[in-house]
Structure 1
C-alpha cells in the first residue's frame, strides 16, 4: 500500500500543480519521476505478494481481463467526468436550480437501467461480449464529443439525450460486459 501511495500522491500533485509551475519545471518532473518510481515499487511488491497481491499480475495475461478492465477505466473516466461536469453546466450555464440539475441526470440513470436490461442478459446468454464492448466504446466516444458541444443555447432535451446515451454506454461498455 505504501508503494501505491508513493506512486499516486506525487502524480496527483504533479497534475494539480503542473499548470501553475509549468509542465517542464523541475518540481513537476521530479514529482512525475517519484510517481514512476512508486509504480515500479508497487509492481515489484505485487509480484512478490503473488496470490495475495492487491492486483495479481498474472490476471493481466488473460486478454479478456485486460481489455475489459482497460475499457472499464476509459468508460469510468468519461462517466465520472459527465457526472461531475454536467450538473455544474446545468446550474452555472443554463441557470437551473440544484434540484432541476439533479433531475436532468435522470436520463443518464435511465440509460444505465436500459443498457443493463439489454446488454447483461445478451452477453450472459450468448457469451459474445466483443461487439457489445466495441459498440459501447464507440457510443462513449460519440457521447463524450456530444458533451463537448453543449453550449448555453443548447436545448435541454438534447442535453438529456446526451446524458441518456452516456448512461447507456456506462452500463453497456462497463458493467454488463
Structure 2
C-alpha cells in the first residue's frame, strides 16, 4: 500500500507543477491582452470632463524682440518700458485628453486676453486664434497703455471646451 500512496503523491505533485506552469504561461498572456486595449483617459472631473487645464507661464515682454518677464516671479511685478508690450502664455498643456496634434490646416484654439487697470477697469479684451497649439502671444498695439499699473489674464477656447482664466498678472508701464 505504501507504493500506491507514494505514486499518488508523485502524480499529485506532477499535476500541481503542471498547473503552476500553465498558470505562469497564461498570466502574462492575459496581462498582455488586457494592456493591448487603450486605457480610458479622463481629466480630473471624470470621463466626460470637457474643461481644459489653465494655460501656464503667463509672461510679458517690452516688445516682440525683448526677453520675457514671468508673472508672479519673486523679483516682483514685471516692468514694461515700451508702449506695445507682448503678452504670452504656454498652451501646450491645454489639449483635451486624446487630442492629436496635426499639421494640416484647420481651426486653432481661440485665446481671449483681458487687460484691466489695477482698479479693475477694462482696457482691452481681445480674442485671437493661436498660430500654434503650443503657445499664444498678443502684441498690444502702440498707445493702448499709458504709464500706470495694470493686470492681464487669458483663457483658451477649443471647440466647445473652455479653460479657466489664468490668475491675474500684475505689471507696471513706465515709459521714460
Report the TM-score, using the length of structure 2 for normalisation: 0.23
TM-score, scaled to structure 1: 0.23
Give 1 or 2 for the bigger CA radius of gyration.
2
The structure richer in strand per residue is 2
